Structure 1
């Protein structure tokens, strides 16, 4: 099984704007979690970004899907990195 890691990097000067729509962002992620597309998600401890583990067919699907994130729509993500990941041990491995 291949999964995709979506790494967000945040610009600190946009923290207030992210805080204002964080509930919408989390509702969007919760919908994907309930549909078994997102497996796990959370911010980095330093507050400068987040990691989302996604189960989809390919990187292009991930990229298109994440254009619908309220944070992306409001231009509140400084950088997005999508990396294919092949887990071989642990709870995410087959």
Structure 2
């Protein structure tokens, strides 16, 4: 298993769409937290995107999982960057 940092990018004009689907998005994320797939997730303060720390077998598995995000299903994510991450210190270092 690997940890991935996932950065979502949101267009300003998708705010209403995200507001509409935020409850389903958060429910999906909470289920992944409960299952141990998401370590942490949250929106950037400026509203331009979000950061998710996700545990997945590999990048293909990660991308398959992210396609299930209600925000992705309705097209509320305008860009995404995924990076394998190996924490050396702190709260998540014992998972790497």
- What TM-score, normalized to structure 2? 0.95
Tell me how far apart the structure 2 counterparts of residues 14 and 44 of structure 1 sit (CA, whole Å): 15
SS of aligned partner of 2:4 = strand
Cα shift readout 1:43-92 (whole Å, capped 9, x = no counterpart): 00100000000011111111110000000000110001110000011110
Tell me how far apart the structure 2 counterparts of residues 2 and 21 of structure 1 sit (CA, whole Å): 28
Tell me how far apart the structure 2 counterparts of residues 60 and 5 of structure 1 sit (CA, whole Å): 14
Deviation of residue 2 (structure 1)?
3.5
Residue aligning to 2:87:
87
Deviating beyond 2 angstroms after TM superposition, the runs of 4 or more aligned structure 1 residues are none
Q: 1:48-63 to 2 correspondence within 5 Å?
A: 48-63=48-63
Tell me how far apart the structure 2 counterparts of residues 33 and 84 of structure 1 sit (CA, whole Å): 18
1:10 and 2:24 aligned = no
Residue aligning to 1:74:
74
Question: Unaligned stretches of 5+ in structure 1?
Answer: none
Residue aligning to 2:28:
28
Residue aligning to 2:37:
37
Tell me how far apart the structure 1 counterparts of residues 81 and 60 of structure 2 sit (CA, whole Å): 12
Number of residues paired by the alignment? 94
